[in-house]
Each structure stands twice: as C-alpha cells, then as structure tokens.
C-alpha cells in the first residue's frame, strides 16, 4: 500500500532525525503492539499532535496489512469520539501516522 506524503509551500523545517514532516518529535506518550507514540509539535504553528511510529521491519506481513487497513479506515472516519488521522508520512523503515 502506498501513502501520499504531503508537501507544503511554506518554509521547510530544519533537517533532522527529530522531525517528521513539519513536526518536531518530543516525549514518548506510549507504546503499543505495532509501535511507539510520540508527542509532535508543528514547528510553525505550535500545534500538538500524536505521532504513531510503526517500524515496518519489526512487523509480520499480516500485522503490517492490519496497520494499512487501520490507516485506510481512519482516513474515512470523521467523528468527535474517534481520533482523526491528519496525515501519513513514510520512509523505507517506518510509517508515521499524524493523529489528533
């Protein structure tokens, strides 16, 4: 499954492994079966988000397919009691889910 990585016309954030797109990675909020959740802060607006970091290499093919299904479903759902998926970034090794 392929995900679009959005780019913006605003000034780019500093290049660092501490950034995912325009979000500065901060403290760890939690750990789960499929990955780690970190606090992210938008470098221009200061908006805070949760960033779920999924290590593709650590997951079996079936679990990775479940994560990809989760992403597809989350993109369709807009409800006040369900976390909103703002964006998805990907690298060869990781998926980054930008969450409300």
Element (H, E) at 37: strand 35-42
Q: Which residues are annotated as a binding site for ATP?
A: 52
Cα three-residue angle 81-85-86, rounded to 5 degrees: 125
Q: Which residues are annotated as a binding site?
A: 52
pLDDT band at 2 (very low <50, low <70, confident <90, very high): very low
> pLDDT for 33-80, tens place per residue?
888 999 999 999 999 999 999 999 998 999 989 989 989 999 999 999
pLDDT of 35: 87
pLDDT at 16 over 80: no
Is the CB of residue 55 less than 8 Å from the CB of residue 64? no
How high does pLDDT run on average in the chain? Answer: 86
Judge if pTM exceeds 0.75. yes
The span from the CA of 57 to the CA of 83, in Å, is: 25
Domains located in the chain, CATH noted = 19-99 (3.30.200.20)
> pLDDT for 55-64, tens place per residue?
999 989 999 8
pLDDT band at 9 (very low <50, low <70, confident <90, very high): very low
């Amino acid at each position: 499954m392929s995900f679009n990585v959005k780019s913006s016309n605003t000034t780019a954030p500093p290049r660092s492994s501490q950034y995912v797109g325009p979000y500065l990675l901060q403290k760890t909020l939690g750990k789960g079966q499929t990955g780690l959740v970190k606090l992210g802060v938008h470098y221009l607006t200061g908006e805070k988000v949760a960033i779920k970091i999924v290590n593709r290499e650590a997951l079996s093919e079936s679990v990775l397919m479940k994560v990809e299904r989760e992403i597809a479903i989350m993109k369709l759902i807009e409800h006040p009691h369900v976390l909103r998926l703002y964006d998805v970034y990907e690298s060869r090794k990781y998926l980054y889910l930008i969450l409300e």
